[in-house]
Structure 1
Amino acid sequence: MALNTNKNVKLYYSIKEVAQMFDVRESTLRYWETEFPHLKPKTVGQNVRQYTEKDIEQIRVIHNLVKVRGFKLAAARKMLNKNRAGVDKNADILVTLINVRNELKELKKHIDGLV
């Protein structure tokens, strides 16, 4: 087994870090845990949550459905149970499109600065 020298890799993220990633409150993440049974971060000590990359990916999908696309929680839960693969793929496509849009905005700024 090779030694991973990448210092930016974290095994666990705090609830505060994850909330900042998605611009939601910590209480929202805790509530989503009660509404989506597949979202179960590791808890240590006095219910201190530790989120893995897998947990963060779950949250990314839920965030996409609820906050970005405007689904009600029950509809999002039903969609996840019914067609998990399709939802994951749509979330990946949305992230790619957002990244492309941001790059295009930066290019436009750069071009406008040249003219």
Structure 2
Amino acid sequence: MDNEADLIEVPDDEVLQQKLYYSISEVAGWFKVNTSLLRYWENEFDVLQPRKTRKGDRLFRVEDIKNLQLIYFLLRQRKFSIDGAKNYLKNNKQEADTQIRLVESLTRFRSFLLEMKANLQA
């Protein structure tokens, strides 16, 4: 993660499991992207399959959010092209899952250390 702008604010698994579905606007807010980008990624990546209401509103499951984290990681942090990310997910999904979990753990640890540093300085 090169800078603070790359930090997404997706709740951890325990919090995510509290609801079955999340709205597209809620999910877009966590990733700091437009809802139109999520709709575009949905068209590009077969692993994204949010449910749609009769009205056409998208509802994202925890599984979709996890897949979005992978896609975001590959496109925004690893700088893959769309085609490169598709191929990587097709051939290395398990490795990508492991990498994203590692990044999440390190991000939480970094936040903990920054909080601890702030408390020591207070």
Q: How does 1:7-86 map to 2 (within 5 A)?
A: 9-86=18-95
Matched with 2:6 is: none
Matched with 1:95 is: 104
The runs of 5 or more residues in structure 1 that have no matched partner are 1-5
Amino acid in structure 2 at the alignment position of 1:65: L
CA-to-aligned-CA distance 1:58-100 (integer Å, 9 cap, x gap): 1111111111222111111110001110000000000100111
- The structure having more radius of gyration, on CA atoms, is 1
TM-score for the superposition, normalised by structure 2: 0.82
CA-to-aligned-CA distance 1:17-76 (integer Å, 9 cap, x gap): 110111111011000011101211111112111111111111111111111222111111
- Corresponding residue SS for 1:40: coil
Amino acid in structure 1 at the alignment position of 2:118: K
Amino acid in structure 2 at the alignment position of 1:96: S
In structure 1, how many angstroms separate the alpha carbons of the residues matched to 2:103 and 2:113?
15
| Aligned structure 1 segments of 4 or more residues deviating by more than 6 angstroms | none
Amino acid in structure 2 at the alignment position of 1:42: R
Amino acid in structure 1 at the alignment position of 2:102: I
The runs of 5 or more residues in structure 2 that have no matched partner are 1-14
RMSD: 1.5
Q: Structure 1 residue 111 and structure 2 residue 120: aligned?
A: yes
Amino acid in structure 2 at the alignment position of 1:23: K
